[in-house]
Amino acid sequence: MSNKIKYGLKNVHYSPITEITEGGKTTVTFATPIAITGAVNLTLSPVGDTTPFYADNVEYFTAIANNGYDGTLEMALIPDSFKVTILKEVLDTNKVQFEENDKQPAPFALLFEFDGDSSSTRHVMYNCKATRPNIESSTKGQSIEPKTETLTLTCRSLPGSAIIKAKTTSETTPATYDSWYGTVYQKVTEASGESEA
């Protein structure tokens, strides 16, 4: 049965990406997804221009570019492990964590799900990059008001591929649904039955 509504962000995971280029072809591999607790809000907006073409005094054709998504992921707290692995912060021998201005963030896949009235739809954005969160807090008053941390995200297609995102449906096989956070799902081509990076 298909969902009629969606609500409730949960089960946020990230999977670091390794890219290997040989002979002009880039191969992408995904690490085992890692859970991040404390998901608060996720907003992703489509990126892409709409270009109309006019002929016969009418809008004859409209080209719509799909350049992925931009948005934000708000968490209770971004784990230090994410900052080391993805934002490329560095630990010294005394386990003090440093942010350095010559480091570039690493790409990763972002996995998550939304609750629904029938089933929770699971998603993966295949090629994401994140910027550093703001540093902020405030003094404690009569009550404690937690401050969240927000990552600014860009989500694009995989290198050498048109694939940007995927999600489960009401007809997704139970085995695929249940293993969603075990490995990053890859598109299966009908002709070969093999996965496509």
The predicted-structure confidence for 123-166, as pLDDT tens digits, reads as follows 999 999 999 887 766 666 666 667 789 999 999 999 888 899 99
User: What's the CA gap between 6 and 9, in Å, rounded?
Assistant: 9
Give yes or no for residue 2 having a pLDDT over 80: no
Which domain covers residue 53, as residue numbers? 6-175
Is residue 180 one of the residues assigned to a domain? no
Q: Residues 58-110: pLDDT tens digits? A: 777 777 778 899 999 999 999 999 999 999 999 999 999 999 999 999 999 99
**Cα atoms in the Cβ-side hemisphere of radius 13 Å centred on 61:** 3
Is residue 154 one of the residues assigned to a domain? yes
CA-CA distances (angstroms) from residue 143 to 76, 80, 139, 140, 146?
17, 26, 10, 7, 10
Beta bridge partners of 176: none
Is residue 64 one of the residues assigned to a domain? yes
pLDDT value for 5: 43
